[in-house]
Amino acid sequence: VAMLIHQVDPDIICIQEFGLKAEDMDRMDALLPEYTRSSVPTDPSDGNSLFYPIAVYTKYRVLGTASTILRESPYEGQSTWVDLRIGEDTVRIINNHLHSTSITADDEEFLSKKEFLSDTASSAKVKSIVRRFHNNSVLRANQADTIAQVIRQTHHARIVCGDFNDTPMSYVYRTMSKGLDDAFSSCGKGYSYTFRGFMDALRIDYVLYSEPLECLSYEVLYDVKLSDHYPVVVRLRKVDAD
């Protein structure tokens, strides 16, 4: 990961499903000495080890420590915001990892190979998939409502990014993107997907932004396979007032 960061050399890095323990975070920080990390550790009161599920690394000045938006268990989703000083402006970064669909690799293989057409136990399995998908969609919708409140209450520039675990047609996307621009819609070309799996059909990772920012470029790094998601690289700049 550190090697990729040095190659791309971004000013802001938003990472989800980081999952590093405190000592591992210290080693990661040492590999990225030009960056400042802003992150919120999990609450160890649940008996598990302290770890950092998501993090923001930046070359800009951090105006305060990251603040948690969602209050659920860290295993059900995370969202944090941090304000950065960029030039003379304040920009709020909202880094998100919404709750998973809970669709497993076995489920994906079952659906992609159309096993449900011949499997005698398919009815129960399909019902299980649909039930999990529905229940988790409801949970993500509630999370999106909570995050959207923070987005709307922020009066300076905003960058909202991360793994939404939902498609552009979903309630989650519509709720969180309201009033914002989508970097892919502004600068992307052709067909884009960000999830490694499900027949390369899903764009579920996003970079959204508000005025006075504009998008210069959008790219998915399809040759990088460090996780089940592909890295998304976006270049933004401030539009100067006339």
Query: Is 50 buried (19+), middle (13-18) or exposed (0-12) by CB count in 10 A?
Result: exposed
What was the pLDDT predicted at 66?
A: 86
Q: Which has the closest alpha carbon to 126: 109, 110, 147?
A: 110
Integer Cα distance of 174 and 129 in angstroms? 24
What was the pLDDT predicted at 114?
A: 53
Rg value, the chain, Cα:
19
pLDDT digits (tens, 9 = 90+) for 26-63: 999 999 999 999 998 876 665 667 788 899 999 999 99
Confidence class of residue 18 from pLDDT cuts 50, 70 and 90? Answer: confident
Q: What is the mean pLDDT of residues 189-208?
A: 88
Integer Cα distance of 172 and 41 in angstroms? 25
pLDDT over threshold 70, residue 105: no
- Residue carrying the six token digits 């080693």: 27
Q: Are 136 and 117 in contact (CB under 8 A)?
A: no
Global pTM? Answer: 0.87
Residue 195 DSSP label? B
Confidence class of residue 177 from pLDDT cuts 50, 70 and 90? Answer: very high
Percent over 70 (pLDDT), the chain: 80
Q: Are 147 and 99 in contact (CB under 8 A)?
A: no
Q: Would you call 177 helix, strand, or coil by DSSP?
A: helix
Q: Which has the closest alpha carbon to 35: 82, 68, 2?
A: 2
What was the pLDDT predicted at 203?
A: 93
What was the pLDDT predicted at 45?
A: 60
What was the pLDDT predicted at 242?
A: 59
Residue 129 to residues 75, 98, 149, 163: CA-CA distances in angstroms?
Answer: 19, 18, 31, 21
